[in-house]
Amino acid sequence: MRWSEIDTVPCPVAQAMSVIGDAWTMLIVRDALRGSTRFDEFQRSTRASRAVVAERLTRLVHHGVMERKQYEAHPPRHEYQLTARGRALQPVLMVMAHWSETQLPKPTRSTGRRHTTCGHAFAPVVTCSDCGEPVTHETITYDRPRGSAGRA
Amino acid sequence: MRWSEIDTVPCPVAQAMSVIGDAWTMLIVRDALRGSTRFDEFQRSTRASRAVVAERLTRLVHHGVMERKQYEAHPPRHEYQLTARGRALQPVLMVMAHWSETQLPKPTRSTGRRHTTCGHAFAPVVTCSDCGEPVTHETITYDRPRGSAGRA
């Protein structure tokens, strides 16, 4: 199978990767979640080429993760805003950053995240919607057989 | 900046993407989290080329996400097992799959995940380690300024 066919696979991980399974894309989404909206902000922050940033932003708009909006008429200028679908990526990025902070050997600066509900610095904890307890690799099973991309 | 330099950026999202920021890699990790250990299993499931699977497995071993172990001496055969670092990716994949299931328009089969602590099917909920309440885009702030890859 070629990567261009990945979105034909009925697996949610494969589907997610067909939209955000590209590292530059994730960095653009990271910046957008922190408030960046302008092409130049994304380009300066990611230090990717303008062509790469333009292509990734177009894909994110195509997939409904961002919206392109005109914010100035003369000359016409546009910015990129996250949609609800895009804002829903916050937990994905948070949990990914937490894995990196706690599991990888290279030091990274802390993301300095704070939960406005309680006002505290925090780590993200993935819990069960039913019992509220943490879910880890050791406390998860799958009802259907493991295996092929077509069945996973 | 070229992608090969991404692991020089002191941002945890960038660091994570330098290890797992590749879609085939994520599918291999997905299969490993569900119990796959053999080269042929990964290749059959992902339907990537043998060269792609081999290259991704080598990288995962290099980054300490998987270990390559001999399980048969004559002829010599090896399998790939997740390390603790690799098993810690379970919440990342879970939250990514949940985003896909709830946010993307294409129907995917449910992953059929069940929490062994309580025995129920569940959705992953990302919560605050301090107060235990859910964390969303609307309830998170960052102590340091948003922005460049170097500071994010």
Domain segments of chain B: what residues? 3-106
CB-nearest to B146 from A36, A97, A125 is: A36
**Chain A contacts of B20, Cβ < 8 Å?**
96
Torsions phi, psi for A76 (to 5 deg): -65, 125
**Chain A contacts of B31, Cβ < 8 Å?**
146-147, 152
**Number of A–B residue contacts, CB under 8 Å:** 323
Q: Please say if the pLDDT value at position A22 is more than 70.
A: yes
Residue pLDDT, tens place only, A89-107: 999 999 988 898 888 876 6
Domain B3-106 class? Answer: mainly alpha
DSSP bridge pairs for B114: A141, B121
- Cβ <8 Å between A103 and B112: no
Task: Quote the CA–CA distance of B85 and B74 in Å, as a whole number.
Answer: 30
The pLDDT, as a whole number, for residue B100 is 86
CB-nearest to B34 from A92, A114, A142 is: A142
Mutation target among B19, B25, B92, B151 for the A interface, most CBs of A within 10 A: B92
- Cβ <8 Å between A118 and B104: no
Torsions phi, psi for A69 (to 5 deg): -130, 140
**Chain A contacts of B11, Cβ < 8 Å?**
30, 108-109, 111
Q: Name the average pLDDT for chain A.
A: 86
**Chain A contacts of B137, Cβ < 8 Å?**
33, 82, 87-88, 90
Task: Quote the CA–CA distance of A82 and A76 in Å, as a whole number.
Answer: 20
**Chain A contacts of B44, Cβ < 8 Å?**
148
- Cβ <8 Å between B140 and A30: no
B130 exposure class (CB count in 10 Å sphere: 0-12, 13-18, 19+): middle
The pLDDT, as a whole number, for residue A119 is 95
Task: Quote the CA–CA distance of A14 and A11 in Å, as a whole number.
Answer: 5
Yes or no: say if B151 and B145 are a contact pair by the CB < 8 Å rule.
Answer: yes
Weakest mean pLDDT among A2-6, A7-11, A124-128: A2-6
In tens digits, what is the pLDDT along chain B, a chain of 152 residues? 666 666 676 677 777 777 777 888 989 999 999 999 999 999 999 889 999 999 999 999 999 999 999 999 999 999 999 999 999 999 999 998 889 888 887 666 667 889 999 999 999 999 999 999 999 999 999 886 544 443 33
Among B30, B136, B21, B144, residue whose Cα is nearest residue A27? B21
pTM, two decimal places? 0.85
The pLDDT, as a whole number, for residue B150 is 38
CATH of A3-139 given 3.40.190.10, 3.40.50.2300, 1.20.950.20, 1.10.10.10: 1.10.10.10
- Cβ <8 Å between B127 and A128: no
**Chain B contacts of A97, Cβ < 8 Å?**
12-13, 16
- Cβ <8 Å between B120 and A136: no
**Chain B contacts of A7, Cβ < 8 Å?**
106
- Lookup result for tokens 């991309």: A149
Quickly list H helices, B21-137.
23-33, 39-46, 50-62, 84-87, 90-103
The pLDDT, as a whole number, for residue A151 is 35
Q: For residue A119, is it left (φ>0), alpha (ψ between -120 and 50) or beta?
A: left
- Lookup result for tokens 């090969």: B4
CA angle A99, A104, A106 (to 5 degrees): 130
Tell me the shortest Cα–Cα distance from B4 to chain A, in angstroms.
11
The pLDDT, as a whole number, for residue B7 is 66
Residue pLDDT, tens place only, A100-141: 888 887 666 667 889 999 999 999 999 999 999 999 999 999
Tell me the shortest Cα–Cα distance from A52 to chain B, in angstroms.
11
The pLDDT, as a whole number, for residue A149 is 40
DSSP bridge pairs for A56: none
Among B87, B13, B90, B130, residue whose Cα is nearest residue A126? B90
ipTM > 0.95, yes or no: no
> Within 10 A of A72 (CB to CB), how many other CB atoms are there?
9
Q: What whole-number percentage of chain A has pLDDT above 90? A: 59
